[in-house]
């Protein structure tokens, strides 16, 4: 017990902040991109839908290291796009915190997109038609009617996206590396201390992650059950 208190006292909290920051940034980007993609998909023809949906969902089913490999190919400073980013905007992605965000966003984005799309599918199309016959612009219909009606689904999608982005490991370690205080996330710290045989520190981090994860899911359920007036009970 004393050992754990000792570890907590001397703990380097930077992985915690980096993970949370990465999670928030990736969630914000995924939130808008995911909703945007889901909206576009809803308006597409069925064949185009199948193709685009496949591409957008790919990062969810691929091993994260494979996604990391592609990200490295794209953003490496020795490749055209990476060179372009660095020379034109001075943006470095590989081995930076931005790399953490990019990796987490790519991996977590499909969760947001799929949840948003599933939520949109549930929205009564008559609401959209009604909006149109009432003279509302497509923009207004989307943000004032569709998104609120799809609210619970989008909300749970956001939480899942955050959880996934915060815990991302494979693609992050390849793209951003594990630089303590800069790109060292909780997941990477756990892997690192385990490699050093430091099981107790790893255990402390695992406990922290468990608490965060549980709180997120609990929070999600509480809000969702508030929104749904009649809870279904089997």
Partner 1 sequence: MPIVCNIHKKLKNFELNVNLSSNSRRIGILGASGCGKSMTLRSIAGIKIPDDGEIIVDGKTLYHSKEKINQKPQKRNVGYLFQNYALFPNMTVEKNIGIGLRKKEKDKKQVVDAMIKKFQLTGLEKRLPGELSGGQQQRVALARIMAYEPDVILLDEPFSALDMFLKDQLQQEMLEMLADYQGTVILVSHSRDEIYRFSDELLILDQGKTICQGKTKEIFENPQWKTAARLTGCKNLIEAIRIDDHCLEIPGWGMTLKTRKKIPKEINCVGIRAHDFIPIWGQEKENCVRVIKGSMAELPFEKKFFLKSEKNPQEMICWFVQRNFWDIIEEKGLPDYLEIPEEKVLFLQSS
- The residue among 47 and 229 lying less far from partner 1, judged by its C-beta, is 229
| Sign of the dihedral defined by the CA atoms of residues 171, 56, 101, 216, in that order | negative
Helices 151-167 and 199-227: angle between axes, nearest 10 degrees: 170
* Block residue for tokens 């931005």: 98
Tokens of 148: 């609120």
Q: Taking the complex as a whole, how short is the minimal distance between the CB of residue 141 and partner 1, in angstroms?
A: 10
Name which position in 54, 63, 148, 180 contacts partner 1 (CB under 8 A).
Answer: 148
Q: Tell me 52's DSSP state.
A: H
Q: Taking the complex as a whole, how short is the minimal distance between the CB of residue 124 and partner 1, in angstroms?
A: 7
- The residue among 4 and 140 lying less far from partner 1, judged by its C-beta, is 140
Name which position in 229, 231, 233, 234 contacts partner 1 (CB under 8 A).
Answer: 229
Site for partner 1 in 115-144 (CB under 8 A): 124, 126-127, 129-137, 144
- Cα gap 218→203, rounded to integer Å: 22
Q: Taking the complex as a whole, how short is the minimal distance between the CB of residue 145 and partner 1, in angstroms?
A: 5
Mask of contacts with partner 1, 149-188, x by CB under 8 A? x-x-------------------------------------
**Residue 225 and residue 156 in contact, taking contact as beta carbons nearer than 8 Å:** no
- What are phi and psi for residue 213, nearest 5 degrees? -60, -45
Number of residues that bind partner 1 (CB under 8 A): 18
Q: Taking the complex as a whole, how short is the minimal distance between the CB of residue 119 and partner 1, in angstroms?
A: 13
- The residue among 40 and 144 lying less far from partner 1, judged by its C-beta, is 144
- Cα gap 183→96, rounded to integer Å: 6
- Cα gap 150→153, rounded to integer Å: 6
Q: Taking the complex as a whole, how short is the minimal distance between the CB of residue 91 and partner 1, in angstroms?
A: 39
Q: Taking the complex as a whole, how short is the minimal distance between the CB of residue 43 and partner 1, in angstroms?
A: 14
- The residue among 88 and 133 lying less far from partner 1, judged by its C-beta, is 133
- Cα gap 234→222, rounded to integer Å: 18
Of 68, 66, 61, 60, nearest to 111 by C-alpha is 60
Task: Give residues in contact with partner 1 (CB under 8 A).
Answer: 124, 126-127, 129-137, 144-145, 148-149, 151, 229
């Amino acid at each position: 017990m004393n050992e754990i208190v000792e570890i907590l006292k001397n703990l380097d909290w930077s992985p915690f902040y980096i993970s949370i920051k990465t999670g928030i940034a990736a969630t914000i980007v995924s939130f808008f991109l995911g909703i945007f993609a889901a909206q576009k998909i809803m308006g597409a023809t069925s064949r185009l839908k199948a193709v685009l949906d496949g591409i957008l969902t790919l990062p969810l089913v691929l091993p994260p290291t494979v996604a990391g490999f592609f990200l490295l190919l794209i953003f490496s400073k020795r490749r055209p796009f990476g060179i372009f980013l660095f020379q034109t905007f001075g943006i470095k992605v590989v081995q930076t915190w931005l790399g953490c965000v990019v990796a987490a966003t790519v991996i977590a984005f499909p969760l947001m997109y799929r949840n948003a799309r599933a939520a949109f599918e549930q929205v009564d199309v008559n609401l959209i038609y009604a909006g149109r016959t009432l003279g509302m612009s497509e923009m207004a219909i989307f943000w004032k009617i569709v998104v609120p009606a799809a609210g619970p689904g989008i909300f749970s999608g956001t939480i899942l996206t955050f959880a996934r982005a915060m815990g991302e490991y494979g693609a992050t370690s390849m793209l951003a590396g594990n630089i303590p205080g800069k790109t060292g996330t909780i997941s990477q710290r756990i892997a690192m201390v385990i490699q050093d045989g430091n099981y107790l520190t790893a255990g402390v981090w695992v406990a922290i992650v468990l608490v965060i994860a549980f709180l997120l899911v609990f929070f999600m359920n509480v809000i969702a059950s508030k929104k749904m007036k009649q809870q279904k009970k089997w």
